[in-house]
Amino acid sequence: MKTSVLSSTVAGLMMAASFGAAPAFAEKTKFEFWYGLSGDLGERVQDMCKKFNESQSDFEIACTSQGDYATNLQNTIAAYRAKKQPAITQIYDVGTLDLMLSKAYVPARKLMEDNGYKIDWANYFPGIANYYATSTGEMNSFPFNSSTAMFYYNVDAFQKAGIDFKPDTWEQVEEAARKLKAAGYECPLGFNFDSWAIMEQFSAIHNQPIATKGNGYEGLDADIVVNKTKFVDHLKFFKRMADEKLFVVKTKQLGMDVVPAFTSQTCQMMSTSIADHGTVGKTLPEGVKWDVAMLPVWKGTERHNSLVGGASLWVMDGRPAAEYKGAAAFLNFIATPEMTEWWSTVTGYIPVTKTGFEAMKASGFYDKPMYKGRERAIESLSFTPPSENTRGIRLGGFTQVRKDTATALEAIFMQNADVQSELDKLAERSNANLRRFEKTYEGAKLN
């Protein structure tokens, strides 16, 4: 049968050629991918798309930056309502619930099974997968650019100040800050008002709730409770350190954010994403020794896994079946060990699968000086099995909760406001927003 079909095809092409007609070839299936990264990271996404297009001849992906995460979420929802949605969209961690409740997506497992791909879903690190999965562990989207918060410190400055330990606890961070200050360093530790590192990650590794109902996984009627947890005392500690000028506020609004403050050696310690590892390595003057560690915990605390940050890729409902074949092929392509290592190399994001991580270890990736330490982010994310306080945050409109947190932090550190009072206001404002979200989706059940 195959021989006769092939013979007929060849004969048809020869006949077409004899009459001067060009043979007809099937056109590539084109589909869109919208993302929320810009600058250098946005260019790396474009490189990834180019690599996919060059790797095969059946599909052509068109990748378009929407500028930032929040804008991409808004544009994706608006496009879906107008029936002009892309096949794939990148949605940041806190937009997960918005997409889930929209029902405007094709679940990850269904997409791959429908298009003939057998995926080992257990291959994803649980600390990453649980943020984007249902309460029963079914993946809704594909983890993509994943990170977690880490602690960076200037080893040269530590040595000059006579500090011979890695700061594993906040007690040690205070000790290091005092020694750095005594040695003449004006900014021992720099910090900003980003709730992701100072509040969300702190709560996770100390196994503290951010909200009731398992941080929202068990229902839309969750309440913010960070004004009643260990975070209150932690923030009071930060305030005391700031008052003594051992911890110093560094924000863009004040002229220098935490990462440039660290890379310029203005500040000697900071907490930020592992995704900044590459920037730190490229920006610090050559020869300066620095290192990265898991976030400190309070002495006597049983450390838990940290939270994943970044974004995942969602496949939007309502596109032609041919585009779904292309989307599945693209998602399978970027999950290969080769692409996993390439993506981690050029961005600083971490591998999301166990096989990808093991392949990178085996290749000696983490033995190279410029990448050494990035593997500790995986250790942090997988330090313990996820608990109800560390699997993620599933709260409606969580972007507003982050804004409310930044407002509270600014009042505390810039206007000398009372810590407990500001956290109480934060909870009150945020819970009012959560009740509005709950009313919007009244009767909706979380899967």
pLDDT at residue 159 tops 60:
yes
- Phi and psi for 210 in degrees, rounded to 5? -95, -35
pLDDT at residue 7 tops 90:
no
Instruction: Give the confidence band of 23 by pLDDT, cuts at 50, 70, 90.
Output: very low
pLDDT at residue number 130: 86
Task: Find where tokens 């004004």 sit.
Answer: 227
- Phi and psi for 151 in degrees, rounded to 5? -110, 120
How many Å from the N-terminal Cα to the C-terminal Cα in the chain?
48
pTM: predicted TM-score of the whole model, two decimal places: 0.88
pLDDT at residue number 22: 44
pLDDT, mean over the chain: 91
Kindly report, as residue ranges, where domains of CATH 3.40.190.10 are found in the chain: 29-147+308-381, 149-306+396-440
pLDDT at residue 6 tops 70:
no
CATH 3.40.50.2300 fits 29-147+308-381, yes or no: no
Q: How is residue 218 written in tokens?
A: 């068990």
CA 161: distance to chain centroid?
Answer: 34
- Distance between CA atoms of 41 and 427, rounded to whole angstroms? 34
Minimal CA–CA distance to 142: which of 35, 274, 57, 272?
A: 35
Q: Which long-range contacts (CB under 8 A, 24 or more apart) does 432-437 make?
A: 433/396, 433/397, 433/400, 433/401, 433/404, 434/211, 434/220, 434/222, 434/223, 434/224, 434/395, 434/396, 434/397, 434/401, 436/397, 437/220, 437/395, 437/396, 437/397
Task: Write the class of the CATH domain 149-306+396-440.
Answer: alpha beta
CB atoms within 10 A of CB 206: 20
Q: How far is CA 399 from CA 92, 357, 405, in A?
A: 10, 30, 10
Question: Exposed (0-12), middle (13-18) or buried (19+): which is 444, by Cβ within 10 Å?
Answer: middle
Least confident interval from 4-18, 88-102, 257-271, 432-446: 4-18
Mutual orientation of helices 231-243 and 419-440 as an angle, nearest 10°? 140
- Phi and psi for 393 in degrees, rounded to 5? -130, 125
Q: How is residue 130 written in tokens?
A: 């649980």
Residue range 126-154: average pLDDT? 90
Q: How is residue 294 written in tokens?
A: 């898991």
Q: How far is CA 361 from CA 134, 274, 375, in A?
A: 30, 17, 9
Residue type, 319: R
Minimal CA–CA distance to 433: which of 401, 411, 410, 393?
A: 401
Contact 194, 261 (CB under 8 A): no
Least confident interval from 125-129, 174-178, 194-198, 246-250: 125-129
Task: Find where tokens 């993506």 sit.
Answer: 343
Q: Is 188 helix (H, G, I), strand (E, B) or coil?
A: strand
pLDDT in tens, 31-85: 999 999 998 899 999 999 999 999 999 999 999 999 999 999 999 999 999 999 9
Identify the residue with better confidence: 25 or 78: 78
pLDDT in tens, 314-352: 999 999 999 999 999 999 999 998 998 899 888 889 899
Task: Find where tokens 């863009």 sit.
Answer: 252
